[in-house]
């Protein structure tokens, strides 16, 4: 029976001709857009994740503590929530670093009458401490210490980037959604056309006492087949584009985003796209089925 129903659905698909092809193409576009933005968002998300791991806060101290006080201060800061590690940087080390940075111009530093650089603590936050709320709490905690002159660094720029990433995701979802609705309507039109063409079949089926689900199932299967074909086509296009473009874009991406390579969607992501496509098509078939209800 299943073979018969699938056979009928494929027969109907051939009948729908160009409209069915348009529906498949629209589903491909919708899922291609969705998948493309998903791919972009995934890679941007990876970049944000890596940057979060590299976040460092610098606590500038009012005066340089003694070795014993510095050790006690480091221990105290390490005990704050959201702190992964702490390193004390004395005034002399700071000046040494400046000399390294200046390179051949390091002699400028020698002209200074006294070392103007403050001692500091380099604080690396935990993952929780690198979130906007975690970083805010941590900065407030560090600023409240009596030894603190100023707290430098932060995660705002990462958050701005992360907001951009979420915006890309939302835009992708929106575009995919709009194209998805268009795809559903086209599948509905294709199925409705077929429905007119197979009105005689449906009448005969009802007349001989076929169960109602057998009468209607081919329409649903037809819609699902269109969705499945559109989704598979979208996955194939995404894979091909990634295969073609990723090696060319990776050097640029490595420099700008710090990502060694551009990853593709996971098998679970791809399966989700295929399921979404099949459901979109099925929904189109169901809507046409609704119109066909006697």
Give residues in contact with another protein (CB under 8 A). Answer: 1, 4, 200-201, 203-212, 214-215
Secondary structure letter of residue 104 according to DSSP? G
CB proximity list for 188: less than 8 A, separation 6 or greater: 223, 284, 285, 287, 288, 291
Shortest Cβ 4–another protein spacing (Å): 5
SS (HEC) of 190-222: HHHHHHHHCHHHHHHHHHCCCCHHHHHHHHHHH
Considering beta carbons, is residue 24 or 205 the nearer one to another protein? 205
Residue whose pair of structure tokens reads 């707290």 in the numeric block: 151
* DSSP for 181-198, written as a single string: HHHHHHHHHHHHHHHHHT
CA end-to-end distance (rounded Å), the chain: 24
Q: Are 209 and 42 in contact (CB under 8 A)?
A: no
Shortest Cβ 213–another protein spacing (Å): 11
Shortest Cβ 16–another protein spacing (Å): 14
Considering beta carbons, is residue 12 or 147 the nearer one to another protein? 12
Q: Are 48 and 162 in contact (CB under 8 A)?
A: yes
Q: Are 155 and 55 in contact (CB under 8 A)?
A: yes
Q: Which of 155, 158, 86 has its CA nearest to residue 119? A: 86
Shortest Cβ 19–another protein spacing (Å): 18
Shortest Cβ 23–another protein spacing (Å): 22
Shortest Cβ 29–another protein spacing (Å): 31
Q: Which of 57, 128, 60 has its CA nearest to residue 86? A: 57
Shortest Cβ 13–another protein spacing (Å): 14
Considering beta carbons, is residue 13 or 215 the nearer one to another protein? 215
Q: Are 38 and 269 in contact (CB under 8 A)?
A: yes
Considering beta carbons, is residue 107 or 208 the nearer one to another protein? 208
Considering beta carbons, is residue 184 or 215 the nearer one to another protein? 215
Considering beta carbons, is residue 20 or 205 the nearer one to another protein? 205
Considering beta carbons, is residue 75 or 212 the nearer one to another protein? 212
Q: Which of 158, 147, 151 has its CA nearest to residue 123? A: 151
């Amino acid at each position: 029976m299943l073979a018969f129903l699938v056979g009928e659905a494929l027969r109907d698909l051939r009948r729908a001709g160009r409209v069915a092809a348009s529906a498949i193409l629209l589903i491909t576009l919708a899922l291609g857009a969705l998948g493309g933005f998903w791919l972009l968002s995934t890679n941007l998300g990876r970049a944000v994740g890596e940057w979060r791991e590299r976040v460092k806060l610098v606590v500038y101290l009012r005066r340089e503590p003694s070795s014993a006080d510095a050790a006690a201060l480091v221990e105290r800061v390490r005990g704050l929530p959201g702190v992964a590690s702490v390193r004390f940087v004395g005034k002399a080390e700071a000046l040494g670093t400046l000399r390294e940075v200046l390179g051949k111009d390091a002699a400028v530093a020698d002209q200074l009458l006294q070392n103007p650089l403050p001692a500091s603590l380099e604080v690396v936050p935990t993952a929780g401490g690198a979130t906007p709320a975690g970083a805010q709490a941590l900065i407030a905690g560090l600023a409240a210490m009596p030894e603190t002159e100023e707290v430098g660094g932060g995660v705002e720029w990462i958050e701005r980037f992360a907001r951009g990433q979420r915006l890309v995701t939302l835009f992708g979802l929106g575009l995919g959604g709009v194209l998805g609705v268009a795809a559903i309507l086209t599948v509905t039109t294709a199925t409705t056309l077929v429905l007119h063409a197979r009105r005689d079949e449906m009448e005969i089926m009802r007349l001989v006492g076929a169960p109602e689900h057998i009468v209607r199932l081919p329409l649903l299967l037809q819609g699902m087949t269109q969705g499945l074909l559109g989704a598979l086509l979208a996955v194939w296009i995404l894979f091909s584009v990634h295969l073609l473009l990723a090696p060319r874009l990776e050097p640029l991406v490595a420099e700008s985003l710090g990502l060694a390579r551009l990853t593709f969607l996971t098998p679970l992501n791809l399966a989700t796209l295929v399921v979404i496509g099949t459901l979109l098509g099925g929904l189109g078939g169901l809507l046409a089925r609704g119109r066909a209800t006697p």
